[in-house]
Structure 1
């Protein structure tokens, strides 16, 4: 019987970085290929292709487009699954965006590290091994894009980086991790209801500009005046509570929507998401919906931005945008 085969693609990040003896100054190294080829999982052959070796804040849609194309080609050529190594700062964003386009039953698994490759207790080797295990796990098929860190598997739509320092940096709200990574399979803790807001096709090399603007105490229409009506295809507002903005901003929100800007409202509150019914005072979610805005639901602002960008790039109009975000409503 031929061995299972996993294609490992790499975009860089801490997992392939080295730091100085004092534990500072981590920067991209040159031994990424050696790190990947050193993975040992019984019965699994591993191939490695470097897409880039950069810090994850510098990842562009074009990098993800190349990784997606390579991942599709690998599984179409017989790979059991694909692993994509990535810096942790924006890993959840890349996973979320790739989830919109991944259209194969084979797992696409993202992983990274919180400690540099030469740091004491480096977590990269174990995360890479576990990601390869997840990529060949029967239970992972048809689950879409996964994130594997610290022996746990998370769904791309729920996972978030919760700590800038801890090894256990990733979690999923409100569901918790999807599975624990075992030697031969994933031990599923729950099964998702289904994949949401899928787009498919080619991931654009560039996405439309969609700013994220946070509104809080003391902010009013003057802050929104910096956004020219009709100049932007989309805007994400970060409100408070269940998706609330100052009442003084509402006239400007209405003007932006009337000029053709798709306005999505997320919340800065990390748990619970936005609502569509609980409050109806000026600036509340009911008022925003009446003005033509869309609520982000459980999506944090940075994921809401990516979904809106992907939809706009695909030519989506208001009805389709509302329907896509409805998949994340609570």
Structure 2
């Protein structure tokens, strides 16, 4: 995601850690944070609900009542008002700063859009739309990516009607995020296991070690089962084979990493736990219907 020339022209670098450039309109404020040196345990919170979206680099997020997780380019996070974030910047440096967008949106605006959706967009299951799950961490799809890119331009543009333009874009952004949240809830029902389920530990292990080599033999030993029995139980309870589940999780990570145009595909497939570039290409194309290189080029040209 690219920042406009006017942003670089008008912003002032006053701090090396979380230097903030802000633009405020009627229903939202856009903040771009830049960090130019490694730092740990940096605290940050907003008095309004916030969409945080990584533009460049890597953060490690520590949220209340949540496990720590990597926050990468192409990913977004929805936070409630007054949620305290604790952030590490393990890779930030002067020549390669970490950049993050934070869009604080008025709660009244969100409620108005939810009301509009309930009047015009019926859910398949008949239930009503409601406020999105907070601490919802997701990978931007193309639609959300394009809206965020457009908002970056609109907030920094000197145009007399930009409040009107931004308000319309915010409405579409909220609708798309709510729909993404709803699909995620529906999809993850398949993988929602009770804490006492014997596979819940295995699912957590896969997600925490997705960047490392993982074999079915290794997982079956951790589950105290034979390989054949582990495979059968896993597929019966989750609806997919262990290998397909692992590959899907790895491609989710790859999609985030490839949204950074400076990342080399060789580094991406290794960071996602694939040992072979050709196997990574095959799996990526099967799941995303395009090659990793074509996907990265498409995102860079949006």
TM-score scaled to structure 2, two decimals?
0.32
- Greater helix content: 2
Scaled by the length of structure 1, the TM-score of the pair is 0.30
| Structure with more contact order per residue of length (Cα contacts < 8 Å, sep ≥ 6) | 2
